[in-house]
Amino acid sequence: MQLNEELVAANQELYLAKQKAEERDKLKSAFLANLSHEIRTPMNAILGFSDLLADKDISYEHRSEYVNIVQKSGKHLLGIINDLIDVSKIETGQVSPYYSEISLQTFLKDLYNTLSVTIPEDKTIDFSLELHDIDSSSKIISDEVKLRQIIINLVTNALKFTETGFVKIVCSYRDQSQLECKVIDSGVGIAEQYYSVIFDRFRQIEGDLAIKKGGSGLGLAISKAYAEMLGGTITVSSEIGKGSTFTLSIPCYNEYKKPKKHIKKSEHDENYFGNNETILVAEDDDINFYYLTKIMSKTNYKIIRALNGEEAVTIVKNNPDVKLVLMDIKMPKMNGYEATNIIRSLDASLPVIAQTAYALSDEQDKIRQTNFTDYISKPLKRDVLLSLIKKHINS
């Protein structure tokens, strides 16, 4: 009898595990189908319009329109890839928070201004920011990169699922120890049965709308994971046809770690010509290196290249003329972290600047913890790069 009971229980467990595995499998297939659509769309635009750009007879207006489309599609693609990497890193436990002091008013206003320009022209949405009891002296200790990404994800969704009406960000303190940011929209709304589902990875509300609006179903999963990492929560309340409210609540910690370095923004190009100083670029990818030589072409810096971390170390050892190293992170033989540690131990005064993929917040954390002098996000922007080089070569 007892053996029988044990067998029934084991059977039941196996059945549930099988169901779970099947469900996961179904989700993954749906995700892959969705993802291939999401990746193909911008990729086709990039290939199609760069083909058109190759025609030497096109007008100036058309050329700038096509360049614009190629750039937008590239950024879109990069966003999807970053989401995917973020999700896989969260899943494998490779992401941790990096705390610094945040000036709330400046942070929220900057974020609001950045998001304001993303509202599509064909939508009439009143987008606003309301701050309660938050002024220029309000500071919190949290992870700025993650907090920014959560709010961007919530507002991007609100703008995506609202055709007319409003989207508001409302921020206030709750009993001094919690910061509450609500993203409120007057959009399509979400049925209650989906409240928890939408925070799962790869999940969207089924139906034509999700297909029409695009998206990989990762934004809310990433936001929730980040909020929890910061000791907080995200909740949703909504009414179909009336709109939704997403509430992010995070504690305002008191502990303090060194704030991140800021990259100085653009100055005029004329200031950057350089004086024949040698810059070592450690970059394994030919196209990335070609791009870099192009954006550096009108300067007087001498560029030399290392194809991997090991080569970078050898060149630094044998070439005292190297005044600065621009270090890629992911390279064969020896990665950028290892190479930088060795180079810095050989010559602590030689500036080493990391090149990192934008928005990979945990990579940025790791870069801050490694012995880099500074870092720059990829895709590289000419004026930011030149300003960084100038800053470190002259200092």
Least CB distance to ligand ADP at residue 198 (A): 4
Least CB distance to ligand ADP at residue 87 (A): 10
- Calculate the dihedral angle through the C-alpha atoms of 10, 11, 14, 18, rounding to the nearest 10 degrees: -170
Least CB distance to ligand ADP at residue 168 (A): 12
Residue count of the chain: 395
Which residue number, 215 or 232, has a Cβ lying nearer to ligand ADP?
215
What is the secondary structure of 189-208 as a DSSP string?
A: ---GGGTTGGGSTT---SSH
Helix ranges (H only) for 214-271 are 219-229
Which residue number, 203 or 366, has a Cβ lying nearer to ligand ADP?
203
Which residue number, 223 or 308, has a Cβ lying nearer to ligand ADP?
223
Residues that bind ligand ADP (CB under 6 A): 153, 157-158, 161, 185, 187-188, 190, 198, 204-205, 210, 215-221, 244
Helix ranges (H only) for the chain are 2-53, 60-91, 104-116, 144-160, 208-213, 219-229, 286-295, 309-318, 336-346, 361-369, 382-394
Instruction: Give the separation between CA 127 and CA 233, rounded to whole angstroms.
Output: 24
Least CB distance to ligand ADP at residue 83 (A): 8
Which residue number, 187 or 336, has a Cβ lying nearer to ligand ADP?
187
- Minimal CB distance to ligand ADP: which residue? 215
Least CB distance to ligand ADP at residue 216 (A): 5
Residue pair 104/171 in contact (Cβ under 8 Å)? The answer is yes
Q: Residue 95 to residues 86, 293, 302, 361: CA-CA distances in angstroms?
A: 8, 33, 37, 8
Least CB distance to ligand ADP at residue 100 (A): 26
Indicate the residue type of 253.
Answer: Y
Least CB distance to ligand ADP at residue 221 (A): 6
Which residue number, 76 or 366, has a Cβ lying nearer to ligand ADP?
76
Which residue number, 183 or 380, has a Cβ lying nearer to ligand ADP?
183
Task: Report the candidate in 134, 183, 189 with the shortest Cα–Cα distance to residue 155.
Answer: 183
Residue pair 28/202 in contact (Cβ under 8 Å)? The answer is yes
Least CB distance to ligand ADP at residue 228 (A): 15
The sign one gets for the Cα dihedral 383, 389, 390, 395 is positive
DSSP three-state, residue 235:
strand
Which residue number, 38 or 143, has a Cβ lying nearer to ligand ADP?
38
Residue pair 375/345 in contact (Cβ under 8 Å)? The answer is no
Residue pair 254/367 in contact (Cβ under 8 Å)? The answer is no
Which residue number, 188 or 296, has a Cβ lying nearer to ligand ADP?
188
Say which residue the tokens 């922007």 belong to: 381
Which residue number, 162 or 355, has a Cβ lying nearer to ligand ADP?
162
Instruction: Give the separation between CA 152 and CA 147, rounded to whole angstroms.
Output: 9
